Amino acid sequence: METQQTEKLAEYYDRENILDEILHEPVTFSLREDLRQGILSGKRSRKLKNISIKVDPLHVQAIKKLATMKAMPYETLMRHWLAEGIKKELDAATK
């Protein structure tokens, strides 16, 4: 029963643009200072965690091409972009 409900929710979010449902209001959140400093400094003391996301195949192809041009694995490039985006958002949230 839970599987059917999960599948229905997944289909809904794949079909609908949920960004229209989100209010464009500032969001306040906080991180432990040691965690925040670790993220901003780029230190990593934990193992990587596997996640799964759906990505447009053309984006994957472009990412792989860019990674090849930079002589790095595409997963590493994506982690780098993600880390940079997180740092940027944290910096913006603290200003």
Per residue in 5-47, pLDDT (tens digit) is 888 877 777 777 666 666 666 667 677 787 777 777 777 666 7
Residue 60's pLDDT is: 93
DSSP state of 10: H
pLDDT digits (tens, 9 = 90+) for 79-94: 999 989 988 888 888 7
Q: pTM value? A: 0.53
- Label residue 53 by pLDDT band (50, 70, 90): very high
The reported pLDDT for the residue numbered 35 is: 75
Paired tokens of 47: 């193992």
Distance CA(4)–CA(2), nearest Å, equals 5
Separation CA 66–CA 74 (nearest Å): 8
